[in-house]
Chain A
Amino acid sequence: MNSRDELAARLDACQKCNVCTAQCPVAKVNPHFLGPKGLGPDMERFRMGQIILGETTLDDCSNCKTCELTCPSGVKITEMILGARRAASQGPHKNTLGAKLRLRGYVLGRAEYLGKLGVIWPTMANQVLKIKLVRLALDKALSISANGPLPAYGKPLAVRVDKEARNGTSTSKQVVYFPGCYTRYNEGDTGRILIQVLEHIGYKTIVPDFHCCGLPLEANGQFEKAHKNGLYNLELMRPYLEAGMPIITSCTSCGLTLKEEYPKLQATAVGLIGAQSYDLFEFLWQLYELGELPLDFQEVQASYGYHPPCHLKAQRIGTPALRILRLIPGVKIRNLDAGCCGLSGSYGFKAEKYDKAMKIGSALFEAIKVGAGHGDFQSMTTECGVCKVQILHGTGLPTEHPVHILAKAYGLIN
């Protein structure tokens, strides 16, 4: 940590300028929410005096990280809020969530177990989740909104392990892919296409049997389980990291967790994980800069609106997918950059937050509807799985991961 970071981590760096609150998607729609400045640096002073806030005040934060990106002084606002949530979950009983919301946190945090259940018989799971009565029951029993766009399940992405790579004896170029629960259980096709693309550009892909990255667990107050998952995944990555292999993510929230949370864990490989984790397009751009990315693109006559997910911005790497896609002849793409979609992981699935999540996303939905209405683009593309679900829910426009467009250009899919 350099001196600037230390300063920023300290709450004294907050000048109370309120720009974070002005940009906060939640504060705009929810007057009960104190806002990032209020809940982060302001309340931090009280927390330092051992006043522990209730969890319910804190969990209005959707953890989108917009405040941290916005802050001109580099204050770690969401980190403070998450820390306070952790403290509150262990605090005196009167401050903690009721049994129902605690159970909901348990369920929504476990995208992985839900995924494992869902993919046993995807059509069955999808049909059941479409039944109104089931959704009403979920709403009543767990406060999971009956209107929220719960994602469908599909054929899961298979694990691919390579013993040679783990021993460091492999000769071919290899990468490790961290697919994340959404790609693995809800959208296996995107994972399989991504592996095809990597193969096409000369990389063999290893997919170890990772657990959930931990972000949905943290967002739902399951801090211990998140911590355990992190340690488990890091141990699984360790031989590959030590062999110098890149870890590729296609989900921007998994990528954020690998880069931001894993380096804080106490494990042997933590020194490597930050620098060796790449968003897929960040990795491809690096190859392009080295002149190693095959440019055998076919023309793709299509125009897209692009939605940069909050957790991509939070990785502070710009929009590498746009850089790559704009190399493809025929592709037209507009970066809408219209703010958070509102779903923010599992936030918008929650009964009391559904309406607010839809309001948060309204600027994005409007930008999409107006743009598509003018014929500026025909479909949408974004990296984040749940942003896609929310965009479809809010606009009805088909949305795909940008790797699909790249795979079309390489002639790997139609």
Chain B
Amino acid sequence: MWDAIVVGGGLAGWIAGIRAAHRGKKVLIVAEGVGTLFYFSGIFDYGDVERLRHIPKHPYTLFKAQAIAQGKHFVQELCPEYVEKVKPQSAFTVLGTVRQGDLMPCSMALPDRQEQGEFVLLVPEGLKDFFPEIVAANMAREFPGWQVSVKRMQVDALGEWTRLGKSVSSIDYAFIWRSEEGQRALAHEIEEIKRQYQEAGRSQEKIVVVLPSLVKEYFDASRTKSYRFEFALPVLEMSSFVPSPHGRYFAEYLKHRFTDLGGELMIGARALSLNAESTSQSPAKACQEIIVQSLGKSLRLKGKKFILATGGLLGGGIKVGMERKSIREGVFDLPLFVPKEWSELQFFGPQPFAQIGVETDEFMRPLDPASGQVVWDNVHVVGRMLAHWDPWTQRCGGGVSVTSGYAAAELI
């Protein structure tokens, strides 16, 4: 019997699992694949929290401002490199454009645009889906007062890749930079850049090296190994194409934090359905166990509480049939809020289908939209599965996931 079983291994699920395990609870996370964190840029968007809290039914309306702040602090406790500033911070995207973000690793945060200096875009040989000319042009446009130069570098360990003309994913490069050999190569390269500027008599200028595919944060399986990354010049990280190295190392890091706290991960297992009995006192039912498909047999997993963190339409938590003839939440078969019209012509505008999800009470327990009654007493819905928000136009995906995951863990 687990204190809580979390279904889904995305941001909301991991935060819920880690916080509950942190509180000494026995927690199991059941995840079908590696989860959407592999598409995570490394940056948390919270959006305009105050404005969003005034939009009727928005998930932020379920939480007090203090609860939102607590979730944020928890992320910062987990990731001490995520430093919050008074002003919103910005980072380079993989195309060299600038995007704002609310919480990001300090090594991603861009310098002041009012200053003057030079960006040296360090381009690892054969980095997949990376276009230095476009990136440099965008950087120059975004920072008019700054010069941008491009420098390419090779790593011995990837000589065979270069010889074959095979591209190297940013995840593989991130792995190299985190190895001693890679750190040495990088330190040498940056030392060389500094020397060249000194020889040209420009040592007084502000020079910032920008390196795609670098991830300095998050410990890995060795837990205690420190990444020194001491370089002769400041080095900026930027976000990457998917699958993203920041996402990958963040996901691995969360997994290790979770299992080190005694939590258990059951990966590859799909939650199929649940078993429950209704109590006569209230219309809400209590779930006793969920049925999970393992290899060859289904397992019955008993829990006191269940956290549904399976994502929405994109994450696979909500399944839509051909021609939208059916729409269904996949595990508990919860009632869904579905707008009459799903889409609007303006592609990048707010799309109604983004609002699809489960409506809940203030404890994130699922509601029947028709009657307004709580459907399950001991089920909490978190993350993208919640109804009435739009992570793309409201830019609050990380914020809603962290806040709801953290708040659900407090209820275990």
Contacts and interface: CB of A to CB of B under 8 A. Distances in A.
Interface of A: 4, 17-19, 21-23, 28, 31-32, 68-74, 256, 258-260, 263, 273-275, 277, 289, 313-319, 322-323, 326, 334-339, 363-364, 366-367, 370-371, 374, 376
A325 to B, nearest CB: 12
Interface string B162-190: 00101001011001000000000000000
B160 A31 contact: yes
B294 interface: yes
Given A19-B34, A70-B34, A339-B221, A316 B295 contact: yes
Given A289-B302, A319-B264, A277 B296 contact: yes
- Identify the interface centre among A21, A258, A274, A335: most chain B CB within 10 Å of its CB: A335
A17 B36 CA distance: 11
B248 A318 contact: no
A363 B249 CA distance: 13
A255 to B, nearest CB: 9
A335 B294 CA distance: 20
B257 to A, nearest CB: 12
Given A73-B33, A318-B269, A367-B221, 14 more contacts: A18-B242, A18-B243, A69-B267, A70-B33, A72-B32, A72-B35, A274-B296, A316-B268, A316-B294, A317-B269, A337-B221, A366-B221, A371-B222, A371-B223
A31 B35 contact: no
Contact of B243 (A17, A334, A374): A17
B342 interface: no
B239 to A, nearest CB: 15
Contacts of A277: 296
Contacts of A316: 266-269, 293-295
B331 interface: no
Contacts of B220: 338, 363, 367
Nearest to B34: A70
A318 B265 contact: yes
B295 A314 contact: yes
Given A28-B172, A32-B164, A72-B316, A364 B295 contact: no
Given A72-B316, A323-B264, A364-B221, A22 B294 contact: no
A317 B28 CA distance: 11
B316 A314 contact: no
Contacts of A19: 33-34, 38, 243
A249 to B, nearest CB: 11
A381 B266 CA distance: 19
A214 B223 CA distance: 37
Contacts of B293: 316
Interface residues of B, number: 46
B34 A318 contact: no
Contact of B266 (A259, A317, A363): A317
A366 B222 contact: yes
B270 interface: yes
Contact of B295 (A72, A256, A337, A363): A256
A63 B63 CA distance: 47
- Identify the interface centre among A19, A71, A363: most chain B CB within 10 Å of its CB: A19
A366 B225 contact: yes
B131 interface: no
Nearest to B266: A318
Contacts of A376: 223-224
A370 B223 contact: yes
B256 interface: yes
Interface in B15-71: 28, 32-36, 38
Given A19-B38, A72-B32, A371-B223, A274 B169 contact: no
Given A28-B172, A74-B270, A366-B225, A260 B295 contact: yes
15 contacts: A17-B242, A31-B158, A32-B164, A69-B33, A72-B34, A315-B294, A316-B293, A318-B264, A319-B264, A319-B265, A335-B259, A335-B260, A337-B259, A363-B221, A376-B224
B33 to A, nearest CB: 4
Interface string B244-268: 0000100000011001101011111
A260 B35 CA distance: 23
Contacts of B265: 318-319, 337
B3 to A, nearest CB: 14
Contact of B33 (A71, A335, A336): A71
- Identify the interface centre among A28, A70, A256, A313: most chain B CB within 10 Å of its CB: A70
Nearest to B178: A363
Contacts of A323: 264
Contacts of B270: 4, 74
Given A69-B33, A316-B268, A316-B269, A370 B224 contact: yes
B310 to A, nearest CB: 11
B34 A31 contact: no
Contacts of A263: 296
B255 to A, nearest CB: 7
B33 A275 contact: no
Contacts of A326: 262
Contacts of B316: 72-73
Contacts of B223: 334, 367, 370-371, 376
A413 to B, nearest CB: 27
A22 B33 contact: no
Contacts of B208: none
A367 B222 CA distance: 4
Contacts of B295: 256, 259-260, 274, 314-317
A180 B293 CA distance: 25
Contacts of B171: 22
Nearest to A274: B296
Contacts of B32: 72, 74
Interface in B215-247: 220-225, 242-243
Contacts of A72: 32-36, 316
Interface string B142-175: 0000000000000000101100101001011001
Contact of B255 (A259, A260, A337): A337
Nearest to B299: A317
Contacts of A70: 33-34
A374 B224 contact: yes
Contacts of B299: 317
A370 B267 CA distance: 26
A269 to B, nearest CB: 13
B121 to A, nearest CB: 24
B340 interface: no
A78 to B, nearest CB: 12
Contacts of A335: 259-260
Nearest to A322: B264
Nearest to A259: B296
Contacts of B38: 17, 19, 22
Contacts of A260: 295-296
B85 interface: no
